[in-house]
Structures are given as structure tokens and as C-alpha cells.
Amino acid sequence: MALFHHGGMRPTGVRRLSAVIAAGVMMVAAVLTAPRPAAADTPWLSVSDDGYVSISIPAASIEANVGQVSEVMVEGNFGPSFAWAEYGLTRRGDVWWGALGPLKPGLYSYQVTGDDTKVLKDPTNATSVASKPLWSTFIVPGDSVRLLADAPQGQGGKVETLTYRTKKKERSALVWTPPRYSAKGAKAYPVLFLRSGEGQSATDWLDLGRAKQILDNLSIQGAMEPMVVVISDGDGPDDEKELKDLRKAAEDKYRVLRDPAHQAIAGVSEGGTRALRAALTNPGQFAYVGSFSGLLTDGVDRANAKAVNRTVTLVRLYTGNVTDPAYNATVRLTRALDRAGVRYEFDGVNPDAGANWNAWQENLIDFVPRLFRTVPDHGPSAGHGRLKGEFTPPAAGTTPTPFLTEDGFVTFETTTDFTDAKHVTVWANDAPGGSWLRIPMSREGDRWRATVGPLDPWFYYYKFIVDRVSVKDTSNPTKVTTEPTWSTFFIPGERSRLLSDVPAGQGGKVESLTYRSTVANQDRTALVWTPPGYDAGRAEPYPVLYLQHGSGQSYTDWVEMGRAKQILDHEFLDGKLVPMVVVMGNGNVSDFTKELLDNIVPAARAHYNVSGDPSRQALAGLSMGGVQTLGVLKAHPGRFAYVAAFSAWFGDGTGVDVEAVNKGTKMLRLYVGDQTDFVQPFFMGSLTTLNDLGIHYEFDGVTPGPHGWDVWQKNLIDLAPRLFRR
């Protein structure tokens, strides 16, 4: 997005919000106007073309359905690797609201939950999941999921119900027939038996697997052989007799080929296990077999190997990443197949999905075009990796947490203090852009555990939520002074290099500065960063940046959460930073302008070799600190030549001396997060105010992310090298 240097031109290309949502943990609530209750037919959840989800649920609707609640969340497959996660909403007046994104293209399912256990369906979303009556779905569009879209009217196949008897009981399956299929025609079709997982319904392949859309679109494109697909429940036929009855029922009702060379079987999870077992332990029934996150680990020996290789044309295995329970099973199965000498193909490890329908949709898309035809490509899908051996986190209680792998998977573990808990999650900034999700943890013995990932290299913070109470991970020695239940961890990589520690002895220093506050009538503390080689006796005083925190924070946060020391150290060593001193004061006072000018600035000049020349002074802050910064600019234009505000707003322009602001300010640079930053509408209103007043400013477009540290770290990274160069 282009950089705007305002001179009477209104910024363009900035996305405006029709409804902006708050999910941030730091805010200045006093300036926010509570939204009006949504009309009864207004969608609770809306999705933009670029994957941002906006949520606004009338509190009255929640109370009418489940009663009074203290918390409301939307649960769905929003987490890393499409893991199930909880996204907490914020109560604003008569509405529970939030914003999340951008989500990757794909199919998402969700439900609304109050106080962990009170679940209701979104009545404004007409989609449904037959096996999960309280779920709704939506699609984030994109080229990678074009096969999930509905086929043009009249061009797709048909889905019917097949009823049959087995072991003196009646069962049913779903059957997809391809376009132009005729029950009276002369042509017979090959058949794929597609199985659901344990506890799953055949309808899940339609509602969550989008099997009809996938098969319709592949057929229309000519990317698959015309075939009949028979879809069975997860609790359907397992033994040979039940499977034989299903096959006979399909053969009796549909024009399908009966020879094994024209029959295939595949399934997800336990359904994949059953498919493998049927094809490999009793070879000669199916020529093609696919296992989507199947859990079979052995059962194949050399005695069957020759028969399998002779009669089975294709054995293809699929697994998600290490969050997929089938990952370790696949490691063991490939070793067993190798030992037995059974030929098979492996699609590779899907790095971006675990054991879920998002992965299984891709598996179906890859598998079906390989059936009943010769294909040239037998390798893994693009971007899929190799198996690296079994994934085994450390034994419970043996290491500090979290446990990190080199490729970004994180295992969290509680202590044994919560054995009687009912609901435990790990809350962290692991959603797109640094938003916050709660990942459900599973009980393992007398502890709770969860593995999350892969996470991109960055700085992360988290806490446990135990039966709706925030709890510190006491096994993690890190701390956040203003948020006692938070802990932190860091994933190294090029993306996070500027947030990493520099080699010992090469960075600047952070010291405490104690000063007397005449506003608070007490001694207070600031943190001060001095650059490498700082010279207290240098003839020319150093330029100085006064850097402020937000509401609910204090002077420690820019160091503990903002990674200010690491950012400044790296940028100095990279030669991007004018040598400067950075003062991080305590802005929690009734009159910040007086605190800054009468207390913080004089204390900094008394203890450090910093300039008092306005052209060598900068002031910046985030959220509340950004509002305070802009307040100083309005009240004392020209006092600081460099001014920046992160996720803040200018407010009323009444009485502002525009000429003094423009003349005395070398740079006024503004930042805001994307539409998940609840401040964005106030920020956009500020741009209108600044434009109307004629104040010069810079705005380089939104910073991806919410009202949180992921955004503000990026803002400091961008701002610091720009200071004192004009």
C-alpha cells in the first residue's frame, strides 16, 4: 500500500469497516461507543472475500437460548493446522463481538458457546451439519479451494441413499453417481467405497468433506474416471461379512463393475484403518486403497506381500503433520510395509493440517484422479514433506514448558494441580496476525497437554484457562509484570530475527531510571535503553525517543512484551538506527502531558546525555499511549519534531494550531492494525480530521494484525530507523 504524505489528498486504498470488532486485550474503553443490537435477521457472522470474519451476536439471543453467561466464544476449526479452537468474544453494550483473520481459504465449521458448556447454533446461518446439529459452516474462498464450490446447476452428479440389510439389521449408505449416469444404460462403472471415521456419519463426507462438490468438479473438468462412490458411516461395516453385504447392495442397485480391478476403497481415520485392513490382509478384493489419516500400524507380513503386490494396483497413504494421531501410525506402517516388501505410495506429510476435514478434502482430491487409470505422477503433493520419525514430546513433568520443535510445533503441559478440572485451554497469540485463540487441552494422566502448530517464527505469549480462570504456567520461568498469568516463548527464524537476542555483549543496555512524579506524588520508574558504545560525556547529546505503553500496561511492557531492546539492538547493529536513547516511562497518571514534560523529560536529561532540542526529540506510543502522544502534539506543537502513534486516534481538532503543528513537526507517522484492531474506525476517522484540518502526516497502510503486540512490534521496527534523519 502506498505511503501517504498528506497535503490535501484523502488517502485511498484503505479498507473501511462496516462493523469493527474488538478482541484485543488492551484498550481505552471510555472512547468506544457500544454498538446497537443487531436485528433478528442480521447475520451473526460475516466473512469478507479476503478471509476476515466479523462476529456480532445480540446478548439477548444468547440469554434467550442458554440463559445468563459470563463468557461467549465461537468455537471452530480456526486454529493452526485447522485445529479446533475457541475464540472469545468481547461484550460491548448489548452485543458480543469479535473479529478474526485473515483465515486461509477453506471450509470452516463453528458453534457458539457460553461458559464452556452452553452451546447453540447460529440461527442466522442456514448451513447445517447433519451429524452435528449445532454446527454451521462457511467457506473462505480462494483458488486453492475452488473444487469445494458448488458445481453449476444441472452439471453435477446426484447423491442418493442406499438402504441394505446386514446381519439382520437395516443400514444405509450414500451413493454419488456421476453426471450422465443412467441406471438403464449399457455402461457399467467402477466403484469407490469411501468410509467415514469412527463416530462419524456418512453425511460428514458431504457436509464437512464437500465430497459431492469435489467429485462434481473433478468430473466436469475431466480429471477423474466416471465412477460410482458409495459412502458409509464410521460405525458401518468392519468385518468381511458386513462389507460384502454393502458391496452386494451397491452392485444390485447400481450399474457398477464387480471385478476387483474396478473397485477401490478408502477412508478417513479409523475408516482408513478399515480400508487398509480390508485390502491388505485379504488381498484380491480391491485394486485401489487409500488411507486418509489411517491408524493401521502393522498387520501386513511377507506371506501376503506377493498377493498384495499382484492384485493391488495402488496403495496410497496420507497423513497430516505431527498434530495428526496418524502421523506416528504412518511412520510405523511405512516401516512395516517396507519390511514386508509391499509396494505403496506416500503423499507426504501435509505441513498445514492435522486430522481434520480440511486435510481429508485434499486427500480425496489427490486420490480420486488416480483411480482406474494410468497416471504419470506417483510422488507426494506439492509442499508435502517427508516423515522424520515418530513425534514424541518429553515425558510429563521432565522439562520446562512449552516444549518446542525445530519446525514450530509447541507442546504445552500443565502441572498436576488441575486433575479435577473440567475444561482446560491454552490461550495464546497464535491466530492469524497475532490474534488470540484458546486451544483445548487433553487430559493425560494427572496433567493436561496440547500440541499446537506449526507456528511461524515470532514472539508468543500465553496462559492457561482452567474452568474459566486464568492460570500462569509455573513451569515456564518467563514473566510479564503487568500480566502475572502470562508466560512467553520465542520461535527463532528469519521472520523473527529482529525480536531475538543479539550475541552477548553486542547490544545496548536497559537501565532503570527512578524519578519523582509531581503528578502522582510518588517516586516512579522508567526503563532506558542506551545504544552500544553510549558515551555519557559525548559533546553532542544523543537524540531521544520517549516511548509510551497502552492502557493496562506500564513501563515494563515495551521491554517484556514489545521486545524493544531486541529490536533496537538489531537495528543499531544493522546500521539502520541513528544512535539514540529510548526512554520508556510510566503513563498511568491523571495528566500525562504534565508528567512527561515536568517529570520524565527532566529526569532523563538529568541522568543521561540526551538532547533538549525539539528537533532531536521524538515521542511515540501505542493505544492509550498513542492518544496521549497526539494530545501532547495538539497541546505543545513543535515540542517534539518526531511524533508517532500506534493504534490510536487524533480526536477532536478544535483549537489545534495547524500551522504550528506542520511547522514544528518533521514527521507525524501513524499506524493501525487491520480490521481485527478495534481502534481502526476511530483511526480512520482521525485521518478525515487530519485531512480536513490540513495537518501533514504519513500513513503506510494497515499493519496486519489486531490491537496487540504483534502489530506494535512491527510498528517500532518500522518507526525507529526513520527517526532523526531529516
Q: For the chain, how many helices (H) and strands (E)?
A: 16, 35
pLDDT of amino acid 281 = 86
pLDDT of amino acid 298 = 85
pLDDT above 70 for 379: yes
Note every long-range contact of 16-19, with CB atoms under 8 Å and residues 24 or more positions apart, other chains counting.
16/681, 16/684, 17/54, 17/675, 17/680, 17/681, 18/54, 19/46, 19/54, 19/56, 19/97
304 in Cβ contact with 285 (< 8 Å)? no
Assign 300 a pLDDT band (cuts: 50, 70, 90): confident
Segment holding 567, helix H or strand E: helix 564-573
If we measure between CA atoms, which residue out of 627, 726, 691 comes closest to residue 14?
691
Strand partners, 225: none
From 179-188, 372-381, 669-678, 693-702, the region with the lowest mean pLDDT: 179-188
Residue 377 makes CB contacts below 8 A (sequence gap 6+) with: none
Look at residue 699 and give its three-state secondary structure: strand
Cα–Cα distance, 418 to 529 (Å, whole number)? 41
pLDDT above 60 for 610: yes
296 in Cβ contact with 333 (< 8 Å)? yes
Exposed/middle/buried for 168, CB within 10 Å: 0-12, 13-18, 19+? Answer: exposed
Residue 107 makes CB contacts below 8 A (sequence gap 6+) with: 137, 138, 139, 145, 148, 208, 210, 357, 358, 361
CA end-to-end span of the chain: 23
Strand partners, 193: 230, 265
Look at residue 407 and give its three-state secondary structure: coil
pLDDT digits over 166-206, tens only? 877 899 999 999 999 998 878 899 999 999 998 899 999 99
Domains identified in the chain and CATH numbers = 34-141 (2.60.40.10), 148-370 (3.40.50.1820), 403-491 (2.60.40.10), 501-722 (3.40.50.1820)
pLDDT digits over 631-658, tens only? 999 999 999 999 999 999 999 999 999 9
Strand partners, 462: 428, 487
If we measure between CA atoms, which residue out of 671, 629, 508 comes closest to residue 577?
508
pLDDT of amino acid 26 = 36
pLDDT above 90 for 357: yes
If we measure between CA atoms, which residue out of 473, 459, 484 comes closest to residue 402?
473
If we measure between CA atoms, which residue out of 106, 150, 578, 38 comes closest to residue 357?
106
Q: Give the number of residues written for the chain.
A: 726
pLDDT of amino acid 169 = 87
DSSP secondary structure string for all residues of 336-354: HHHHHT---EEEEE-TT--
pLDDT of amino acid 129 = 96
Exposed/middle/buried for 400, CB within 10 Å: 0-12, 13-18, 19+? Answer: middle
Question: How high does pLDDT run on average in the chain?
Answer: 92
SS3 content of the chain, % helix, strand, coil (to 5): 25, 25, 45
pLDDT of amino acid 236 = 62
pLDDT of amino acid 237 = 60
Residue by residue, what is the 3-state secondary structure of 623-684? CHHHHHHHHHHHHCCCCCCEEEEECCCCCCCCCCCHHHHHHHCCEEEEECECCCCCCHHHHH
pLDDT above 90 for 282: no
For range 560-564, the mean pLDDT: 98
What percent of the chain is predicted at pLDDT more than 70? 94
pLDDT above 90 for 25: no
CA distances to 31, 89, 441 from 71, rounded to whole Å, are 23, 8, 19
pLDDT of amino acid 238 = 62
pLDDT above 80 for 721: yes
**Amino acid letter, residue 331:** V
pLDDT digits over 240-262, tens only? 788 999 999 999 999 999 999 99
107 in Cβ contact with 357 (< 8 Å)? yes
CA angle 434, 547, 559 (to 5 degrees): 55
267 in Cβ contact with 229 (< 8 Å)? no
**Amino acid letter, residue 606:** A
If we measure between CA atoms, which residue out of 193, 202, 348 comes closest to residue 274?
193
Cα–Cα distance, 357 to 582 (Å, whole number)? 49
pLDDT above 60 for 2: no
Cα–Cα distance, 670 to 647 (Å, whole number)? 8
From 31-35, 508-512, 534-538, 571-575, the region with the lowest mean pLDDT: 31-35
355 in Cβ contact with 324 (< 8 Å)? yes
pLDDT of amino acid 206 = 98
Cα–Cα distance, 582 to 531 (Å, whole number)? 9
pLDDT above 70 for 420: yes
98 in Cβ contact with 88 (< 8 Å)? yes
589 in Cβ contact with 596 (< 8 Å)? no
pLDDT above 70 for 27: no
pLDDT of amino acid 9 = 30
What's phi and psi for 294, nearest 5 deg? -70, 155
Residue located via cell numbers 504534565: 594
359 in Cβ contact with 324 (< 8 Å)? yes
Query: Residue 121 corresponds to which cell in the numbers above?
Result: 447454533
Cα–Cα distance, 671 to 711 (Å, whole number)? 9
